[in-house]
Amino acid sequence: MPRSTLFVTGTRADFGKLEPLAIAARDAGFAVSFFVTGMHMLDRYGLTKLEVQRTPGTRVHEFLNQRPGDPQDMILAKTVIGFSDFVKETQPDLVVIHGDRVEALACALVCATNYIRCAHIEGGEVSGTIDEIYRHCNSKLSSHHFVSSDDAAKRVMALGEPRDHIHSIGSPELDFHSRPSGVTMAEVRDRYDLPFDDFGICVFHPVTSEAASMGTQAAALFGALDASGRSFVVIAPNNDPGSAAIFDAIEGLPPDRFRVLPSMRFAHFSELMKNASAMVGNSSAGVREAPFLGLPSLDIGTRQTNRAKSPSVFFADATDTTAIEAFLKDQWGQDHPPHDAFGAGSAASRFVAVLQTSAFWDSDLQKTFHDGAG
């Protein structure tokens, strides 16, 4: 009987990273399923659970863990209860979580307290706000680590994790961006009703520790983009505290130059990035995928602090209209050499190679702190 691997996904972003790993595991003979929750379940954010359901050869379990306006601690509690009930029924051999979201934290906690083998994807990253706290907590709760770089591996070791449980595989979403998207730009324009040929992409998420100022930041950023006269595809923010104020700012944008979308299919988003003139905002896509594709990006604010080192990534505060204007003038349409510090598109094959070893499955789930590992 094949070993069962359960992938936890709460957002369109983490699904883009988990999907290549899940498909590779499926093709290698593992029984693959998804626990779908979080933003995926909400209409306002594109009901992206439908994207997960399109993954052939996998099983999908859906769990509504929140209502609009629920605080993070309540979402955490609801997810712990729902996931605990689910894994007790299904008994997965391995649970795979990603990154820094509260849903991942809840599921990692359930795995740790029930001695279920848990693999954390992209631990050891540094960034701004509470995301970094969640990410490091997830690493400590997980039994295995698949990181994006050697620097990230060193940070996970500094948390006391054993070196032989840490595997540097690169960023999984780059597997997808490294090959043809499977759709044409004409198909992207037709599906999402994009009226312009020359465009930038903007994705601006709330920063939970700055929720009170997100309205001011969003108004300043989108005001600067509007004043530039450029056209933009705007992807809606995630559902963290402060998102309502960002939506308020987005709703006032002129529709002839700003196409606002709740979400996009991953293949279409990849093709969109490959044809964009610039990227602006605070999404991880701006500091990870954009440099890989050679797309100039402007990282706004503190959400990705210390995470970007590529020469194609620039920085500005949301209220620094002069810096935003200069970036749009100087970098618009520029091509940069691809940045491969986070892999070259082989994360999924490396992930499966580890899962196919007996050492992975035979390792002890009783964790101990490894002094001086970092």
Instruction: List, for residues 151-207, the tens digit of each pLDDT value.
Output: 999 999 999 999 999 999 999 999 989 999 999 999 999 999 999 999 999 999 999
Kindly give, in sequence order, each residue whose CB lies less than 8 Å from that of residue 180, ignoring residues fewer than 6 positions away.
Answer: none
**Higher confidence at residue 343 or residue 14?**
14
Residue 224 confidence (pLDDT) above 90 = yes
Instruction: State the Cα angle at 185 between 34 and 218, rounded to 5°.
Output: 70
3 state DSSP class of 4: strand
Determine what percent of the chain is predicted with pLDDT higher than 90: 85
CA distances from 199 to 2, 230, 258, 277 (A): 46, 7, 9, 6
Residue 363 pLDDT > 50: yes
Residues 6+ apart with CB under 8 A from 245: 206, 211, 214, 215, 218
Residues facing 280 on adjacent strands = 202, 298
pLDDT at 132 over 90: no
Q: What is the DSSP letter of 266?
A: H
pLDDT beyond 60 at 287: yes
pLDDT at 172: 93
Confidence of residue 372 (pLDDT cuts 50, 70, 90): low
> In the chain, what percentage of residues exceed pLDDT 70?
99
pLDDT of amino acid 128: 66
**pLDDT tier, 344 (very low <50, low <70, confident <90, very high otherwise):** confident
pLDDT of residue 309: 78
- When pLDDT is cut at 50, 70 and 90, the band that residue 342 belongs to is confident
- Helices marked H in 252-362: 266-275, 284-287, 289-293, 321-330, 347-355, 358-362
- Decide if pLDDT at 272 tops 90: yes
Mean pLDDT of 87-108: 96
* In the predicted structure, residue 374 carries a pLDDT above the cut 50: no
In the chain, the domains with their CATH numbers are: 4-177+344-362 (3.40.50.2000), 185-330 (3.40.50.2000)
Give the separation between CA 186 and CA 201, rounded to whole angstroms. Answer: 17
Q: Which residue has the higher pLDDT, 106 or 1?
A: 106
pTM of the model: 0.87
> Mean pLDDT across the stretch 8-14?
93
What confidence score (pLDDT) does residue 209 get? 85
Q: 71: how many CB neighbours lie within 10 A of its CB? A: 11
For residue 373, pLDDT beyond 60: no
Spatial CA neighbour of 255 closest among 338, 193, 163: 193
Average confidence (pLDDT) over 44-62:
94
Pairwise CA distance, residues 179 & 173, whole Å: 11
pLDDT at 240: 85
- What average pLDDT does the chain have? 94
Structural tokens at position 269? 């988003």
Residue 305 has pLDDT above 90, yes or no: no
